[in-house]
Amino acid sequence: PINPWYIGGPVVKGYGRGSKVLGIPTANLSTEGYSDVLSEHPSGVYFGWAGVSTRGIFKMVMSIGWNPFFDNAEKTIEPWLLHDFDDDFYGEDLRLVVVGYIRPEANFPSLESLIAKIQEDGRIAERALDLPLYSKYRNDQYLKQHD
């Protein structure tokens, strides 16, 4: 277990690949103001809880890093909320409590293997977040303090 950490802000536009290329939407957060938190935590895949101002609290699995498969120039914070939404929520306040780490960032030989690994990350997060050790953070006040 890691010490939980907290990040939040309005959902911003990313490279537009999540849904279109992978079939997996990620609600990107700006990395601005988070250089300390990001340097304290290695690039990789994490899980935790996400609070969306108008919608509630959901499980999430998140990539932090440069996405080597796409060779991004900038580090991104990209939580995939494990819930089916009917529409987008760009601009809404999103708050994350990050409670666990799954794996380091990796490259993949094909798009199919990348998608398969992300789906597996999602299943791991889904199960882990039901454990009392992690489920208790669903009630963290930070997730509800939208400005």
Among 14, 51, 65, 122, binds Mg ion (CB under 5 A): 14
Is 40 annotated in the active site? no
Buried b (16+ CB within 10 A) or exposed e, 96-126: bbbbbebeebeeeeeeeebeeebeebbebbe
Q: Binding partner of residue 101 among ligand ADP, Mg ion, none, CB under 5 to 8 Å per kind?
A: none
Does residue 48 interact with ligand ADP by CB under 6 A?
Answer: no
**Alpha-carbon gap, residue 41 to 61, rounded angstroms:** 15
Q: Which is nearer to ligand ADP, 40 or 83 (CB)?
A: 83
Write each residue from 86 to 115 as x if it is in contact with ligand ADP (CB under 6 A), else as -, in one continuous string: --xxx-------------------------
Q: Which is nearer to Mg ion, 6 or 90 (CB)?
A: 90
Structure tokens at 7: 């990040």
Q: Which residues pair with 6 in a beta bridge?
A: 97
Considering only residues 4-23, where is the footprint of ligand ADP by CB under 6 A?
11, 13-20
Structure tokens at 93: 């306040």
